[in-house]
Chains A and B, each alone.
Chain A
Amino acid sequence: MSTRQFGARVQRNEDDRLIRGKGRYVDDIPLEGALHGVFARSNVAHAKITRLDVSRAAALPGVLKVYTHEDLGSLDMKMPLLIPHPCITHGRTQYPLARDEVFYVGQAIAFVVAVDRYVAEDAALLIDVEYETLPVEIDLRRAAEPGAPLVHADVPGNIAANLVQESGDVASAFAKADHITSITVHCERSTAAPMECLATAARWDEVSGELTVWDGTQAPIGLRGALASLFDLDEHAVRVIAPDVGGGFGPKIHFPYANEVLVPLAAREFGRPVKWIEDRSENFVHMTHERLQIHDIELAATRDGIVLGLRDRFLHDTGAFIPYGIAVAQVASCQIAGPYRIPNILVEFSCVYTPTVPVTPYRGCGRPQANFAIERAMDQLADELGLDRFEIRRRNFIQPEEFPYTRPNLIFADGLPVTHDSGEYEQALRALMDALDVDAFKADQQAALEQGRYLGLGLSFYVEGTGLGPYEGGHVRVHPITGKVFVNTGLTTQGQGHATVFAQIVSDQLGVAVEDVIVVEGDTGVYDWGVGTFASRAAVVSGSAVHKAAVLARKQLIDAAANMLEANPDDIELSDGRAFVAGSGVDGVTLAEIATASNPLRYAFNKAAERATQFAPAARSDGPPLAEGAHPGIEATDYYAPPHATWAYGVHGAIVEVDPMTYGIKIHRYVCVHDCGNMINPMIVEGQIAGGVAQGMGGAFYEKLEYDEDGALRNASFMDFLIPYATEIPHVEMIHQETPSPLNPLGIKGVGEAGTIPVAQVIASAIEDALRPLEIAPIRKVPLSPSLLHSYVTEAGLRK
């Protein structure tokens, strides 16, 4: 028997290409004679366009055309609101190119098509725009107040949507409580900053009339649908390919961006391929943002620290438009109670328009904010009740025997009430306490303090609803010529290692080497049933679908091999790329031979095919070559639709040292205990977590998009917007716990976003603990700059 690949630290199938410089990202696709597009963008936040003159730009040699909204014909329409929800009373989406009004700095106004990018950029500078600027309010709180300048004249109060959800009876819980604590927390606006910016290339094939679009997207099937609809084409005439994609982290799930409309349009008009490659500065003002929320959270508890009720009201900044609906806010609202039993929850949010880049999910999708809110509140509650921070959490955990644990009427993004499926929360907390040796730390902390050094310990417990439906598909086929296995899903990968983990799953069923499983996804020309890569769902949903398809293919292989070898199917074993009778010592047949024999074709292309003819037929049928209902070859497709989300969780802790003069922070240890169910490949899981933690560190310390009061983004470059380098990220110690999900055949939960979620709270909690002797006021905001920390310390002084 070959060893089980599921659970093994298998090296990646995708690496060889990538380390040799043979990756294929959109801008690497060789397209002979391609034209290049560049957008001209608004440099004011909110204004009427009083004059738009592109004549100087259009006259520049090398320029083929400058599109404005007037050139778009039927495409001059509002882009879809992708995920509608009844609570969106004032949904607004943008036009591909601004009409007579702009709503944020960066909004596309015109699209230049020229012979190369250099000329196109020259031309974009020659576009003359005049504006009549309108008043703006950038501050989220003030934008939601009566009398604030409106982003959309017909949206009163700048409120796009408002949702109230109540689980249990919150008023009575608060009435019964011994103690109520409340805190207001604030997470700043950030950006995913994948290393590859957005990119689109398109070509219309003159012969077939088909449109091919290469796009750095997380949702090629969705984009294909949007393009078929916008360009009025049959689906088969549009092929969207997400080739190698240089990181996604959320914003690439959104579509269609203006480029995804303009590039195909220009390619059609000029009968030549057209490319648009976003540059970094543009990425900051164009690709969607996330994170800005302000939560007012209250907990009602007994004097023993049992939380009876939770009330959270929050504002969610959706930017100038709401193309992705309430997804981010809804996800935040559904994880607000974390791992705690809290039987009574009232959560209300408003999605507020501000004249800024629109907001869609970025790794974590509202969970980091919700985690910061509940965990800050738990720390404060512990403090006020004189309880230990670990102990108060322990007292409130949902216990193993309480699963599945449902929060009635708290409806998640899949339209179903929140139901935690499984977990060992207390065991995870205990593992963290042991790893950090909490008691020894307390002594160290005391000793350090005596030398004037400030050490602190922080923690954060998170839960993450992952693996959302509705469904994904998996397709498995054995290539008759090579005997390799070809696997497809409707997803895309931006570095998560799908070509390896799906291969591991198939390898276990079909007995082939992992490197002989070829995974191709992100190409609607190859496979086109599915949803997309988001919400830590790929391994869970597609992984399960691939597994189910592989189980079917396995049965086909065994049945065919049994016929060929004239044996009993129960005796057939699959291993090392062959099927044979267990214990017979006979070679049996290769997968290529079985696949060849399963296809009633006349030609023997190779040795395997010649050999296949020596065996009995693969199918037992006295009738036609293919029996009724049979299909040629070894091939299977299956689908997986989860009953509801599966809940991963974990707890991170850190020991930090704070310099009381400079507020410089040194992270001495960072420990992460996590449980994402059964792990397909621990090496890849660890990579996901390490990367997630680094993005979380960015959010905790550095990453804040700074809009000035006029709505200009002041730090729209890597020089000014700080993302962590290696020197900013600590070594992360990881402890794996595996509680299988009962919801899917492999017991998997998602892990893609896990690392990012708890980091801000871990750091806030640790710094607060370190500076307790200075009586620091509660930390309520991230990112935590030294000056912000200083203000918390002086605030405490002022209170005295």
Chain B
Amino acid sequence: MTETTEFEPNALVRINVEVNGRAVSEEVSTRLLLSDFLRHQLRLTGTHVGCEHGVCGACTVHIDGTPARSCLTLAVQVDGCSIRTVEGLANADGSLHPVQQAFKECHALQCGFCTPGFMMAVAGLLDERDDLRTAEDDSIREDIAGNVCRCTGYMNIVSAVRRAAELTNEKG
């Protein structure tokens, strides 16, 4: 039997994570959300919070290479993991990631609030599917249906997904 201990909301735990390629060692309270850890403790405010219920996808980051909701993850859970946020999307020389380039070219953002989460989700999708360049609208729409955008009506985001695939292809 495992021993149960009293829940200590404000107990501090040290975590070691790699964030956008940089090693980070921080004390965090056990109940701190990963989204809050990134935003307020590391001041990486590019990751946004739209619902804190795991529904909107605005808070999407990559944990060990896979898109995940940072509002549904506790900071302590990512001890030993590697995290990538929107701030880590562009290349070291400042040139844009294909997803960023495509979002700009296709006017796939308006207010920009959903955009970082959306781009992280699409970046993950590009790793997963290599047929996006020629994919039908409906299949792209299915694949991006984990994120909410209230501004664009999605049309230009669908185009941006295809364009990002094209740019990835050109590069690679």
Contacts and interface: CB of A to CB of B under 8 A. Distances in A.
Interface in A693-725: 693-695, 717-719, 723, 725
Interface stretch (A337-345, A403-411, A726-734): A726-734
B133 interface: no
Nearest to A21: B46
B112 A718 contact: no
A194 B116 CA distance: 16
Contacts of B52: 279-280
A269 interface: no
Given A494-B111, A695-B150, A21 B47 contact: yes
B70 interface: no
A280 B115 contact: no
A25 interface: yes
A37 B44 CA distance: 22
Interface string A30-52: 10000000000000000000000
B45 A195 contact: no
B50 interface: yes
Interface in B150-170: 150-158
Contacts of B53: 280, 717-719
A726 B111 contact: no
A195 B58 contact: yes
B103 A19 contact: yes
Contacts of A11: 104-105, 107
A11 B147 CA distance: 24
A122 to B, nearest CB: 8
Interface stretch (B11-19, B72-80, B82-90, B124-132): B82-90
Contacts of B151: 195, 247, 495, 687, 691
A361 to B, nearest CB: 16
Listed residue (A193, A719, A726, A727) with the most chain B CB atoms within 10 angstroms of its CB: A726
A244 interface: yes
Nearest to A119: B10
Interface in A646-674: none
Nearest to A197: B50
Given A118-B31, A280-B50, A718-B148, A246 B107 contact: no
A455 B42 CA distance: 55
B135 interface: no
Given A20-B100, A727-B142, A495 B87 contact: no
B34 interface: no
Contacts of A694: 150, 152-154
B43 interface: yes
A182 B85 CA distance: 57
A135 B10 CA distance: 42
Interface in A85-101: none
Contacts of B150: 192-195, 247, 249, 691, 694-695, 723
A508 B162 CA distance: 33
Contacts of A247: 110-111, 113, 150-151
B113 A196 contact: yes
B24 interface: no
A690 interface: yes
B155 A19 contact: no
B68 interface: no
A19 B114 contact: no
Tell me whether chain A's interface is mostly helix, strand or loop, or mixed: loop
Interface string B33-51: 0000001000111111111
A21 B86 contact: yes
Nearest to B90: A20
Nearest to B117: A195
A494 B152 CA distance: 12
B29 interface: yes
Given A27-B39, A719-B53, A690 B112 contact: no
Contacts of B50: 195-197, 246, 280
A443 B43 CA distance: 61
A684 interface: yes
Contacts of B142: 727
Contact of A195 (B86, B90, B137, B148): B148
Nearest to A494: B111
B152 A27 contact: no
Nearest to A281: B53
A718 B152 contact: no
Nearest to A34: B40
Contacts of B55: 717-719
Interface in A151-210: 192-197
A148 to B, nearest CB: 35
Interface string A10-23: 01101110111111
A18 B109 contact: yes
A732 B137 CA distance: 12
Listed residue (A245, A689, A719, A729) with the most chain B CB atoms within 10 angstroms of its CB: A729
A16 B101 CA distance: 9
B22 interface: no
Contact of A495 (B32, B96, B110, B157): B110
Contact of B116 (A21, A280, A727): A21
Contacts of B31: 118
B111 A725 contact: no
A245 B152 contact: no
Contacts of B119: 19
A20 B20 CA distance: 13
A739 to B, nearest CB: 24
Interface string A488-532: 000000111100000000000000000000000000000000000
A683 interface: yes
Contact of A718 (B29, B56, B153, B157): B56
Nearest to B141: A726
A195 B149 contact: yes
A633 interface: no
Given A21-B45, A21-B86, A25-B48, A731 B115 contact: no
A118 B110 contact: no
Contacts of A273: none
A497 B108 CA distance: 12
A772 to B, nearest CB: 28
Nearest to B110: A495
B122 to A, nearest CB: 11
B43 to A, nearest CB: 6
Given A718-B148, A727-B141, A195 B111 contact: yes
Given A718-B148, A723-B148, A244 B112 contact: yes
Given A16-B104, A195-B150, A726-B157, A717 B51 contact: yes
B89 A21 contact: yes
A644 to B, nearest CB: 29
22 contacts: A16-B104, A20-B100, A21-B46, A21-B47, A27-B45, A194-B111, A195-B48, A195-B150, A246-B114, A280-B53, A495-B111, A495-B112, A686-B107, A687-B151, A687-B153, A691-B110, A692-B153, A717-B53, A717-B55, A725-B146, A726-B145, A729-B153
Given A695-B150, A719-B55, 17 more contacts: A14-B112, A21-B86, A23-B113, A24-B45, A28-B39, A195-B114, A245-B111, A247-B151, A497-B110, A684-B107, A690-B155, A694-B153, A694-B154, A726-B140, A726-B144, A726-B147, A729-B154
Interface of A: 11-12, 14-16, 18-25, 27-28, 30, 118, 122, 192-197, 244-247, 249, 279-280, 494-497, 683-684, 686-687, 689-695, 717-719, 723, 725-727, 729, 731-732, 755
7 smallest CB-CB distances across A and B, nearest first, come from A21-B46, A246-B113, A495-B111, A495-B110, A18-B112, A694-B153, A690-B153
